[in-house]
Amino acid sequence: MKSIADLIAATFARCLICWMRIVPARLGELTAWLLIRGLLLVMPRLDRAADRNLELAFPDLPEADRNRIKFTSYHVLARNLLTFARSSTMSAENTAGTVEGEEDFRTLLDTARAETGSGVLIATMHFGCFELALQLIALRYHPISALVREFGLPRLDKFWTAKREQFGNELYARRGGYRETITRLQDGKIVAILCDQNVKRKHSIFVEFFGLTTSATKTTAMAVLQTEVPLILAAFYEKSPGQYRVISKRIAGLDDNIEGRDAQLADLTQRLHSGIESFIREHPEQWFWIHRRWKTCPEGVPENRYEGV
């Protein structure tokens, strides 16, 4: 049964990507928008999760403003799918001058690599054109490695991974991913990790995020602790069709004045998520609000933030 579902999903994805690539951009965008709206109709809990997330993150914001952020974020998701589908037409030449903030991002990477002579860890997030971000980095800077979560459907994974790797990026899966991350960083490679989503308690460190005690992955900080590589937070979003912006900042490394491995990990993870929060507060409509980001709570605390959602 799973193999049949895989075949259907892979065939649908191939047809969808091909359709959005060959039709006029406005028709492709309409297709992507209808797909997002259809998904929300079939899975209304996603829309309810977005409402709840915005209430948790911005409790003092009027409901009308939260709704505006939510619906704009759905359009961002549609554009994310469209730009990824049409990315095969991109090149280093035709993307020149299309990424605001590119020079600052390039300088951050070059400086970090020159300082240590090692790899660099890029912490990124489900923000803006996150599927296109890896393509833009490969075209405008250099192909990189990225730790990704697979769909769990072999045919679909093979197709989607090939699309993501079309400009030389190298992707690897979460199973055994930490060890692979360390190896690649020690080999001097640039590695990107998405680190903005909920994590089960046994794999997490709890930080303050939008004023709430929040489960966060400890993988990023552990990799920095083990390899001592520089850490850069970066995210891309689309300003207008064909024009993008990258926002990036260097996250200071481990604080030697803090004693104890666990305390150092917690401090770095907190500073990283404070940076993530600042990016989201600046551009809230660009974030992925349909994910139940605040689901996991510390032991002994009821996990009821999404009760009834």
- Residue 79: count other Cβ atoms within 10 Å of its Cβ: 20
Name the 3-class secondary structure at 176.
Answer: coil
Token readout for 150 is 């697979």
Tell me how far apart the 2 most distant CA atoms of the chain are, in Å: 58
Residue 203 carries which side chain, given as an amino acid letter? H
CA angle 206, 212, 214 (to 5 degrees): 30
pLDDT tens per residue, range 123-148: 999 999 999 999 999 999 999 999 99
Q: Answer whether residue 254 shows pLDDT above 80.
A: no
pLDDT range class, residue 116, cuts 50, 70, 90:
confident
Q: How many separate helices (H) and strands (E) can be counted in the chain?
A: 10, 9
Average pLDDT (5-31) is 96
Q: Please identify which residue in the block is written with the tokens 């977005």.
A: 50
Strands, DSSP E only, in 69-181?
99-100, 120-124, 145-148, 170-173
Question: 33, 78 in Cβ contact below 8 A?
Answer: yes
pLDDT higher at 151 or 65: 65
Residue with the larger pLDDT of the pair 268 and 149: 268
Segment 190-243, tens digit of pLDDT: 999 999 999 999 889 999 999 999 999 999 999 999 999 999 999 999 999 999
Q: What is the Cα–Cα distance from 65 to 139, expressed in whole angstroms?
A: 36
Instruction: Please say if the pLDDT value at position 14 is more than 90.
Output: yes
Q: How far apart are the first and last CA of the chain?
A: 30
CA distance 77 to 36: 7
**Which parts of 198-303 are beta strand (E)?**
204-209, 212-217, 231-240, 243-251
Q: Work out the percent of the chain whose per-residue pLDDT is above 90.
A: 90
Kindly give the pairing relationship between strand 120-124 and strand 231-240. parallel
pLDDT of residue 257: 81
AA letter at 255: D
pLDDT band, residue 253 (cuts 50/70/90): confident
- Residue 246 burial (CB < 10 Å; 0-12/13-18/19+)? buried
pLDDT over 90 at 308, yes or no:
no
Cα gap 169→102, rounded to integer Å: 18
The whole-chain average pLDDT of the chain stands at: 95
> For residue 41, is it left (φ>0), alpha (ψ between -120 and 50) or beta?
alpha
What's the whole-model pTM score? Answer: 0.95
Name beta bridge partners: 244.
Answer: 99, 238
